[in-house]
């Protein structure tokens, strides 16, 4: 079963070639021309990737991104927009987008970024074992209540699943791969954002900030600690324990 890509674009001249290209690459493609229908379509389920324009006729694309994340959407969100400044990119990523591509862009680059996000997004739709499994697959467990299943890209605190975006999962999984070890900012940026990122590292700090809040809200003893001037590490016990 192919991945389903939702194109949120009000300009027919831009949407039409996107639809043709993605369908030619084997994706299932749906397109909506406004923000509120996009929120409802994502809420209905089965969307693996959202290609999101910001200049929509009803609500701004940033609000669309904010709403679908608030509704628990964990798939990839790639913003496609003419707002290409650094601050614009930071704001887009801060509201929950995984990547940002300024117009005009090349279709080859768009497809490469889409493939990267789909690899990192939640469980592939063509993985029958993951769909039919009655319980979470065996997870890496380092003795804390925080568990990360890298196969299905899901995070658990006790019996509860923690909702995280694709980038949040990548950062947390990397830190969790060696609890207590310090990961430099450069290493995290290289392994999570790789060649697709060319702007400020402020987005790393905002991603870490969101993860800290989610971990705190979940009640787990695990937390992300900043090592000043170096990077971050994941600790499984409070600092004053």
**Domain of 16: which CATH number?**
3.40.50.2300
pLDDT confidence band for 121 (50 / 70 / 90): low
Residues 108 and 155 in one domain: no
Residues 12 and 71 in one domain: yes
Its pTM stands at 0.57
Among candidate residues 42, 11, 20, the one with its CA nearest the CA of residue 121 = 42
CA atoms within 13 A on the CB side of 20: 7
- Angle formed at CA 79 by CA 76 and CA 112, multiple of 5 degrees: 65
Among candidate residues 85, 80, 83, 60, the one with its CA nearest the CA of residue 14 = 80
Residue 20 falls within a domain, yes or no?
A: yes
pLDDT computed for residue 205 by the predictor: 86
Residue 175 falls within a domain, yes or no?
A: yes
The residue with greater pLDDT, 91 or 97, is 97
pLDDT tens for 128-154 read 333 334 444 444 444 457 888 887 788
Q: Has residue 177 got a pLDDT over 50?
A: yes
Residues 110 and 12 in one domain: yes
Provide the percentage of residues in the chain whose pLDDT is more than 90: 22
Average pLDDT, the chain: 80
Residues 89 and 194 in one domain: no
Residues 102 and 150 in one domain: no
The residue with greater pLDDT, 187 or 6, is 6
pLDDT computed for residue 110 by the predictor: 85
CATH number, domain with residue 196: 1.10.10.10
User: Residue 12 and residue 90: Cα distance in Å, rounded?
Assistant: 27
Residue 129 falls within a domain, yes or no?
A: no
Task: Please give the DSSP secondary-structure letter assigned to residue 140.
Answer: B
Residues 19 and 110 in one domain: yes
Q: Has residue 239 got a pLDDT over 70?
A: no
Q: How many domains does the chain have?
A: 2
pLDDT computed for residue 194 by the predictor: 63
Q: Which token pair is 23?
A: 């369908």
Q: What is the mean pLDDT of residues 200-206?
A: 77
Residues 30 and 90 in one domain: yes
Residue 96 falls within a domain, yes or no?
A: yes
pLDDT computed for residue 198 by the predictor: 55
Q: What is the mean pLDDT of residues 68-78?
A: 88
Residues 110 and 167 in one domain: no
Residue 139 falls within a domain, yes or no?
A: no
Residue 137 falls within a domain, yes or no?
A: no
Least confident of 71-75, 123-127, 229-233: 123-127
pLDDT confidence band for 202 (50 / 70 / 90): confident
**CB atoms inside a 10 Å sphere around CB 86:** 11
Q: What is the mean pLDDT of residues 8-35?
A: 91
Residues 19 and 112 in one domain: yes
Q: Has residue 215 got a pLDDT over 70?
A: yes
Q: Which domain holds residue 167?
A: 146-236
pLDDT computed for residue 126 by the predictor: 42
Q: What is the mean pLDDT of residues 74-79?
A: 88
Q: What is the mean pLDDT of residues 58-69?
A: 90
């Amino acid at each position: 079963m192919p991945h389903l890509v939702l194109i949120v674009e009000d300009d027919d001249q831009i949407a039409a070639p996107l639809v043709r290209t993605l369908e030619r690459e084997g994706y299932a493609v749906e397109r909506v021309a406004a923000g509120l229908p996009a929120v409802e379509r994502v809420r209905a389920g089965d969307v693996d990737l959202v290609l999101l324009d910001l200049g929509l006729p009803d609500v701004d694309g940033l609000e669309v991104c904010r709403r679908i994340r608030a509704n628990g959407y964990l798939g990839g969100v790639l913003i496609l927009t003419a707002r290409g400044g650094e601050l614009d990119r930071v704001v887009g990523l801060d509201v929950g987008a995984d990547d940002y591509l300024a117009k005009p862009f090349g279709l080859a680059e768009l497809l490469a970024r889409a493939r990267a996000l789909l690899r990192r997004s939640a469980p592939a739709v063509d993985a029958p074992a993951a769909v039919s499994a009655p319980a979470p697959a065996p997870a890496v467990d380092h003795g804390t209540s925080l568990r990360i299943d890298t196969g299905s890209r899901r995070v658990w605190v006790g019996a509860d699943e923690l909702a995280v975006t694709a980038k949040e999962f990548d950062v947390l999984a990397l830190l969790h791969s060696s609890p207590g070890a310090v990961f430099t900012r450069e290493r995290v940026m290289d392994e999570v954002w790789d060649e697709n990122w060319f702007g400020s590292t402020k987005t790393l700090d905002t991603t870490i900030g969101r993860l800290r809040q989610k971990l705190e809200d979940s009640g787990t003893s695990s937390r992300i600690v900043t090592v000043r001037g170096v990077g971050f590490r994941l600790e499984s016990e409070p600092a004053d324990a």
